[in-house]
Structure formats: C-alpha cells, structure tokens
Structure 1
Amino acid sequence: MATHVDLIRWQDEPAPAPWWFLPLAFLGAAYVAAVTLRLLPYLTLCLHQRRPNNDLRRRYGAWAVVTGPTSGIGRAMALELARQGLNLVLVDLDTTNLQEISDTIRSRHGGVETKTVVFDLSLVSTDQGDKPLRWLREAVDGLDVGVLVNNAGVAWPGSVYLHEVEVEAWVRMMRAVTEVTSAVLPGMVARRRGAIVNIGLASSEAIPSFPLFTVYAATKRYVAQFSRGLHVEYAGKGIHVQCQAPFFVATRMVENLVEARRLSPFTATPGAYARAAVGWIGRGGPLCTPSVRHQLLWCAAAAAAPDFVLDWILLRSHLEQRTLLSADQSIEGAISVFAARTRRCQLISGKSSASGTIRGDLAMTAYTRYSSVIVTAVSTRGSGHGWIPDNLNRGHLDYFFWLLTVLNAVNFVVYLWIANCWRLGE
C-alpha cells in the first residue's frame, strides 16, 4: 500500500516523454546550432571592427584598382578605400564621371593619388578590347597594387525570358572580370601579397533560382565560382580572393525592382555597404555577405520555405513586374517604363494597391512560416497533455526545443512586421 510520502513523490515526478520527443529536441538543437554557426563569423567581425582598422595599405600595397567607380557600390567602395589611405586606379567608360570621382577623392583626401583608365568593359571580347586592356596593364605597371575590386557590370534590363536577351552581353561581362583580374594578378604574384574582391549576387547563392533574371544570376554565379577557384589557387602565394555577394543596395540599378521595394528594411545604403565590404577584405573565406542586413535576409531565405515554394514566389513576383512593362517598349527601356507605371498606379489607386499588396504578402508570409505555427501548436498541446515534462531542469534538450519554438514565433512576428512595412511602402 502506497504511503502519503510515496504519493507526493509520484505526483512530483514528470510524465514520461513520448518516443518522438527526443528526436524533435535533437532536430531543434541542430537547427539552432546551424543558425548560430552561420552568424558567428559576422559576430567575430563586429569584434574585429572594434580594434584598429584593417590596414590594407600596410598588408597589401599602396594602390587599389576599382572598376565601375562612378556610381553605386563602386563609387562608395572607391571613397572608402581612399578614406583608408589607398591610392586609386579608377576604371570606367565615362570620361566625365571618371574625372568627377577623381576630383572628389582628391578634394576629400588630399594625400591620395588617383589615375583614371577609360575602359568600356563590354568591349573586352571584341577586337576593340585589346587596346583598353593594354592601357590598364600600362597603368598598373610599376605600381604597388595590393587591392582589386571588380565591380563593373551590366544592368539587367528587367524581367525577361532567355530568348529576349542578348546573351553575348553577359558573356562579355564574365570575360571582363576574368581579363581585368588577369591584368592585375601578375604584379600581386611577384610581390606575394594582394587582395581581390569580386562583387557577386546573394540571390544567385542563397536561393534556388532567380526566374526571368536567369542569365544575370548565372553570370554572378560564375563570379562566385571563379573567386572560389582563385582563392584556392593563390592562397599559397599570399593573395586573398573573395566574392562579396550582396542582396539589394540602394542604387539606380535596383531601385525599381519589386524585391528591393518590398524588402526595403534589408536594403543597405552604398556607404554602409562599402564600410562593411572594405572591413571584410582579406578576412573570411572565398564567399561572404558583408552587410549584416543582407546576412539576416540570407538566413531568412534559406530557412523560410522549401525550394519549390521560393521558386513559385519569385516567379510570381517577377511575372507581376513583367506585366507592368509596356509591350511596345524595347527591353532596354524596361526599367524606366516600370518606374513610370508604378508611380502612376500609386497615384490612381494607392489604397486598393496597398490593400491588395498586404493581403497577398500576409498570405505568403503565413505560408512560408507554416513550420513556426506547427511547432508552436505541437508544443502547446504537448504541455497541456503532459507530454512535455514540467521540470525542464531534468533534461537540457528540453531547453533547445523551447528555444526553437520561441525563435520561430519571434521570426513569424518579424515577418508580419516586414509585411506591414511593405504595406506602408505602397
């Protein structure tokens, strides 16, 4: 016969967990660990940035070569490198804008020297490309070039299918990155030091596909693979090669894209991105996303939904953008047409547009966060029926399970907040 003490002891003991509890706890622990490990390099960099600045001039050399420095990311990178005391070789096709950025750098940073090379990178794969390449080699000959930033590229005309694209233009862009790197690399090899930064695209790395921007994303994937290979080949020669893959930066190239408007909380300014990007030069592996905003978006994209769901969402978004383009306009003018149509629609029916956008975005958010709702529901029902022990101190894995639930719940709230920002942005 059980005594009163035995009954009290029996009532204090937690109910045994079902067979599936430990596997789910391990899965939650693995998920939390994976997310944490992805963020650790960026937390480490934040600690590094509290120390003295990354002295690129001392580590690699007195000069840096920047392609496409007249606007956007390239301009911000050139200004940031000049702020850190590096002399600059500026490469672009526009003589007037080259002179303007050169004068700006010298006026802001009196001790910085600049050289300009007029070079249309789209001519690299043609008969006219040999002369500009020779000019570039002559410009860097004898200079202590320690940093190369390959930023120049071709803006995608809009949401288009492959048969509507001039494929040769994208072949030239890939060859331009290769040829410019080949022109600067021999000097770095001779000095056994240097850093090469190739600007890629996070959308070609973090998500399974980028429909209607397929060739553009594929060229950026080439840049990433090109960087990985060179990183391995030249690490033993003192040369660090890195592909920096941003999401959206507030430049003219992306200002009218649907994703850039909807994900405005995660869009970095050129100046902020350049400061983070220069801080990453010579650090980390062959692929990185310097901006913390972009890294958070990368993690969200990787964990938001299965690949086929992301494919459907992006295709729907890009087809929506395509419908705003006038059929009688050329592909080259697609972005400007999209901007005009967007502004006109907002003036005519701003309320209905905002209402439709928030309904669609909330539906998409709820669908992509289905795992959060399921985990929360299971954990709530489990605690109510005694499946989950009340005394969590008896097993540390229980903490991971509850942490996973809380993280998913918070993540869901964040996505709702983002959807609300999209509505206000309309």
Structure 2
Amino acid sequence: MWLLLGKISTWIVFLLIGTYFVPLLWLSWFCKPQNLKLKYGATWALVTGASQGIGRAIAGKLASQGLNVVLVALDDDHLETAKRQLKAEFPQQQFRSVGVDLSVEPRDYMKKIMQATEDICIQVVFNNAGYLSMGFFRQQDIEKLIGNLECNALSAIRITHHFMKRMIENGCPGCICFTASAVSFLPSPFASMYGASKALISHFVSSLAVEARDNHIDVLAVHPSYTRTHLYANTPKLFILNLLDRFAATPEEVAEVLIQSVGRVILRDTGGYAVITKLISRILDIGMMTYFMMIARKLLPEYRAFSKKA
C-alpha cells in the first residue's frame, strides 16, 4: 500500500512541477532565436508602449529582423525620440508613430490606430502597454482605476480583436503577444487593479490561443519578473521593490524571451520571481495564501506605507 501511495505521490509531484519545468528547459536549452519576419512572412509589426522600456526593446529587435514597426505610445517626447532613434539605427526600415492614451475613451485611440494602419498588413502584434497604480483600493480614484484596467488589459483586447480579424480576412498567418506579469500569480494587495488586469490577460490568452490555432495565428503571454523600466517610477520606494531590483531583468532580456517563445509555448514565465511564485501558486491553494496574507498584513511594508495616507 505504501509503495502504491509513493508512486501516486511521485506522479502528482511530476504533474504539478515536472510539466512546468519541461517546457522551460526545452525553451532555454534547445530553442534557437527565431526571426518573426521569416516565420510569418510579415512586413509590418505593431508594438504598444513602444516609446520606453520593454516596448522600445521589442521594437528595436523587430526592426533588426527586417520588420517595419508601428509605434503606439503616449503622445510625448519619448515617442518621437524612440522613432528618431530607431530610424537612425535601422534606416532601411519604416516606422510610424501613433500618439494615444490607452487609458481613456477607446473610440479615440482605436480610431487613430486603425487610421494609421489601414493601408498596411499588420501580422505581428505586441500588446505591451501598461502602468502600475499602488495604494489601498478605497484611497484611489475609481475612474483612474478603470483607466488602469483599460490600458493594461482592455486596450490589448480591443487591439487584438481588430488585427486578428484583419489577419483572418486577409488569410495571413501571424502572432499576437502580450506582456503580462508574475504579480498575477498571487494576491496583489495595494496593487489590486494591476494584478487583476494582468491575470485577465493570462486567462484571455490561454483561451484565445485555442481559437486562433486554425487560423495560423500564434498567441503568447509572457510573465516577466521585476524589470528595470519606468513602470515603477511613480511608486513608493518599498522594501520588496528595492529587493527585487537587485535581481531585475533588462527590457532587452524580456523582449528576447517574447520573440523566442512565440509559436512555441502559450504562457511563459521568465525570471526567478516568476518561477518561484508560479510554483507557490501550484502547491499552495490561492485561498489559503490569501488567508495567510490577511493574518500577516500589518507586517507588510506596503501596508504600513499606505496606512499612513489613510
């Protein structure tokens, strides 16, 4: 009997952990870099949040593969600087900039994106735009929270719907990629809307990938660990963020993971924090984890920092 229980336990551990690590090891050890222009026969790509951070790195890597790129970001100096730099670095490629705020009225930003791309075929889409708003949920303006959800998740869904339909209508293969976050694996108090929006993206991708298969459209979401970008520029300098910064990835590293993974896996975690938190979420029930955090909430530096503002 004990032998049987041991075998059953071994299989359970393998299913929980082994099936997680096998794809990660396969990607890390055996999968070579891939050129998305050649993979999909594409000419144009679109990247949101393209003026800085991971989005800027993605745009540069796509251009280096011979793709023309539509840069979607806030209409500010960073966008024009990114476009100017990319033109100088890749003079043989074309770049279009679309200055929009993805956190506001969707009809406004979708109209501008659609107008800027109506004469070209977008086959490679990177939904990367997003920002972090921290604090007690009750302390934050509800319209700003809804704007955070719009930018982080709903805008990506709207953009995906538009370009996926166009790919299918034109009979073109392609890919749609999302920058999600490891924060969605566990409860994210004091960043509730950010965590929820990223969790929405992950679940959306796992469902959409099944639907898109027959149309030869690859769908991917990557869950980066802490990355050195401007995402955290306006957040309090909390202990956990300072700690994670010591092990942070660069935008270029995350961009490379995205491009390497598309068409090979559906969801990919990158960085130690992402792997550890994913394993915790597989082993420990999310309800129990939430209960533990509730008990220990006053020990969290974030709790003390934001309680002072209450």
The TM tier, using the shorter chain, reads 0.7 to 0.9
Instruction: Please give the secondary structure, in 2, of the residue aligned with 1:121.
Output: coil
Q: Report the Cα distance in structure 2 between the residues aligned to 1:54 and 1:65, rounded to whole angstroms.
A: 18
Distance 1:96 1:263, change over 3 A: closer
1:297 aligns with 2:276: yes
Q: Report the Cα distance in structure 2 between the residues aligned to 1:257 and 1:328, rounded to whole angstroms.
A: 15
Alignment of 1:334-345 (within 5 A): none
Instruction: Please give the secondary structure, in 1, of the residue aligned with 2:219.
Output: strand
Q: Report the Cα distance in structure 2 between the residues aligned to 1:305 and 1:230, rounded to whole angstroms.
A: 27
Residue 79 (structure 2) aligned to one of 92, 95, 98: 98
Distance 1:182 1:188, change over 3 A: same
Distance 1:241 1:257, change over 3 A: farther
In the other structure, the counterpart of 2:9 is: 27
How far off is 1:253 after superposition?
2.0
Count of matched residue pairs? 300
TM-score normalized with structure 2 length: 0.84
Alignment of 1:170-185 (within 5 A): 170-173=148-151, 174-185=153-164
What is the identity, as a one-letter code, of the residue corresponding to 2:172?
A: R
Alignment of 1:109-124 (within 5 A): 109-124=90-105
1:88 aligns with 2:57: no
Residue 137 (structure 2) aligned to one of 140, 154, 161: 161
1:243 aligns with 2:221: yes
In the other structure, the counterpart of 2:121 is: 144
Q: Report the Cα distance in structure 2 between the residues aligned to 1:317 and 1:265, rounded to whole angstroms.
A: 25
Partners of 1:42 and 1:292 within 8 A in 2: no
Distance 1:171 1:254, change over 3 A: closer
Gaps of 5+ in 2: none
How far off is 1:240 after superposition?
1.3
Higher strand share: 2
In the other structure, the counterpart of 1:218 is: 196
Q: Report the Cα distance in structure 2 between the residues aligned to 1:318 and 1:68, rounded to whole angstroms.
A: 35
Greater C-alpha radius of gyration:
1
Q: Report the Cα distance in structure 2 between the residues aligned to 1:260 and 1:35, rounded to whole angstroms.
A: 27
Higher helix share: 1
1:69 aligns with 2:50: yes
Q: Report the Cα distance in structure 2 between the residues aligned to 1:277 and 1:210, rounded to whole angstroms.
A: 24
1:228 aligns with 2:199: no
Instruction: Please give the secondary structure, in 1, of the residue aligned with 2:207.
Output: helix
Partners of 1:140 and 1:184 within 8 A in 2: no
Distance 1:266 1:31, change over 3 A: farther
Residue 39 (structure 1) aligned to one of 14, 17, 21: 21
Q: Report the Cα distance in structure 2 between the residues aligned to 1:59 and 1:297, rounded to whole angstroms.
A: 32
How far off is 1:193 after superposition?
0.9
Q: Report the Cα distance in structure 2 between the residues aligned to 1:93 and 1:121, rounded to whole angstroms.
A: 8
How far off is 1:226 after superposition?
2.4
Q: Report the Cα distance in structure 2 between the residues aligned to 1:328 and 1:310, rounded to whole angstroms.
A: 26
Indicate the RMSD between aligned Cα atoms, in angstroms: 2.8
Distance 1:42 1:160, change over 3 A: same
How far off is 1:258 after superposition?
3.8
Distance 1:318 1:102, change over 3 A: farther
What is the identity, as a one-letter code, of the residue corresponding to 1:101?
A: A
Distance 1:214 1:299, change over 3 A: closer
Deviations along 1:199-252, one digit per CA (max 9) or x if unpaired, are 222221x32x22232222112222223223322222211111222222321223
Q: Report the Cα distance in structure 1 between the residues aligned to 2:198 and 2:278, rounded to whole angstroms.
A: 20
Distance 1:48 1:292, change over 3 A: farther
Q: Report the Cα distance in structure 1 between the residues aligned to 2:73 and 2:67, rounded to whole angstroms.
A: 18
Q: Report the Cα distance in structure 2 between the residues aligned to 1:277 and 1:152, rounded to whole angstroms.
A: 14
Partners of 2:132 and 2:191 within 8 A in 1: no
Instruction: Please give the secondary structure, in 2, of the residue aligned with 1:212.
Output: coil
Q: Report the Cα distance in structure 2 between the residues aligned to 1:229 and 1:121, rounded to whole angstroms.
A: 23
